[in-house]
Amino acid sequence: MGNYTTVSGDQWDIISYNLFGTEDYTGDIMQANLEYADVVIFPAGILLNIPEIQAVNDGLPAWRDEIDMEMGEEGY
């Protein structure tokens, strides 16, 4: 698990996008920082825990990834 120090105006989805290139991990970051779950717009200087992300998702839901793997498909 890593850390991230907020800058003034940061929001959960912006942090996810800046760190991982997608908003898909907003919930993961929030889950790792429940004490700040009620914050919408961060002030500068808040140290957040950033969970390790296993793999970058291509936008498909997890159940679709599993079906595609079973069928030997790599996408749509």
pLDDT per residue as tens digits for the range 4-42: 999 999 999 999 999 999 999 999 999 999 999 999 999
pLDDT score for 11: 98
pLDDT higher than 90, residue 73 = no
- Identify the pLDDT of residue 16: 96
Q: What's residue 62's pLDDT?
A: 60
Q: How far is CA 70 from CA 18, 57, 58, 63, 64, in A?
A: 33, 17, 17, 11, 10
- Show the tokens assigned to 75: 């996408």
- Give CA 39 to chain center in angstroms: 16
Q: Would you say the pTM of this structure is higher than 0.75?
A: no
